[in-house]
Structure 1
Amino acid sequence: MQQIRRFQRFLVGAALALAGVLSGCGGAAPEQAVRAQLQALQQAIDARDAGAVEDLMAEDFVGNDGMDRRATKQLAAGVFLRYRDVGAKLGPVEVELRGDDAAIARFDVLATGGSGGVLPDSGQVYRLETGWRRVDGEWKLLNAGWKQRM
């Protein structure tokens, strides 16, 4: 049971971390850039690339329980090895701009994982609030908080 909970927490962390995949979005309007990065989230998770988890967050990223970018990468690598199928399905996204170089995005995510059967072995819905900042023209994930939905 504890492994399933760690796995679910990882999916949330990976979803948040990988939301920064579109590094070329710096020239787009801030809201569009954040939304585009979140759209790339599912593709990045499907690619199962733990290195992208670390590379695409701000150097000073902080998540729940003090999870930093290195810890997120390590957890991602472990989960990708353990589960053949990993998924994150995003719900509607609210973007709140804080000037031209900062934003907050809020959304629900269904995090799933399994061994490759028809149905996932586990799944949970989380509410996420993510902070974004533009660094050298690239949007980076600065912080993330998540809680399990009942």
Structure 2
Amino acid sequence: MIRSMRALAGLVLLVLALGGCARQPPEQRLRETIAQMQAAVEQGRPKVFMAAVAGDFIGNDGLDHDGLGRLLRGQLLLNARVGARTGPLTVEMGEGATATVRFTVLLTGGDGGLLPERGRLQRVVSHWRENEGRWQLYSATWSDG
């Protein structure tokens, strides 16, 4: 009886371990990357955010990877507290390892009080590619929403 309980417990642990190792679907990994980027902005961690931005990134008006990093760091310096709340993500998986994600984001900033002093709603269309299991943002456009 004890042996069969140990065997069952071992089997359950093996199944759980294998389930934990199972590769997540690409769309789920992409959604998690976006959530991590959002958290990085709110935590004031620009390096974490920029880790998911491709070196050849291009944005509005020719904004490149370095320019995006400077823009983000500047906003974090100007505002004691930055908020980024995304609306529902519309994910379109493309050919191969690419995706397009559309969403709205409410960006807020202020001195850290209870209410933000500034806010702006943006519509974002972002383009992603997966490389070695990691999603990277390579293009984005945004406009007032």
TM-score by length of 1: 0.76
2:83 maps to 87
> Among 16, 30, 39, which residue is 2:35 paired with?
39
Instruction: Give the secondary structure class of the aligned counterpart of 1:48.
Output: coil
1:77 maps to 73
Which letter maps to 2:93?
L
Q: CA RMSD in A?
A: 1.4
Instruction: Give the secondary structure class of the aligned counterpart of 1:120.
Output: coil
The structural deviation recorded for 1:148 is 0.3
- Higher-RCO chain (CA-CA 8 Å, sequence separation at least 6): 1
Larger radius of gyration: 2
1:127 maps to 123
**Contact 1:104/1:130 (<8 A) preserved:** yes
The structural deviation recorded for 1:42 is 2.6
Percent sequence identity over aligned pairs: 37
CA deviation string 1:76-96 (max 9, x = no partner): 222212210101000011100
Which letter maps to 1:71?
G
**Contact 1:129/1:144 (<8 A) preserved:** yes
The structural deviation recorded for 1:100 is 4.0
Alpha-carbon distance change, 38 to 56 in structure 1, aligned in 2, over 3 angstroms: closer
Q: What is the 5 A alignment of 1:95-134?
A: 95-134=91-130
**Contact 1:30/1:103 (<8 A) preserved:** no
TM-score by length of 2: 0.79
**Structure 1 stretches lacking a partner, 5+ long:** 1-26
**Structure 2 stretches lacking a partner, 5+ long:** 1-22
Structure 2 CA distance, aligned partners of 1:38 and 1:54?
11
Which letter maps to 1:97?
M
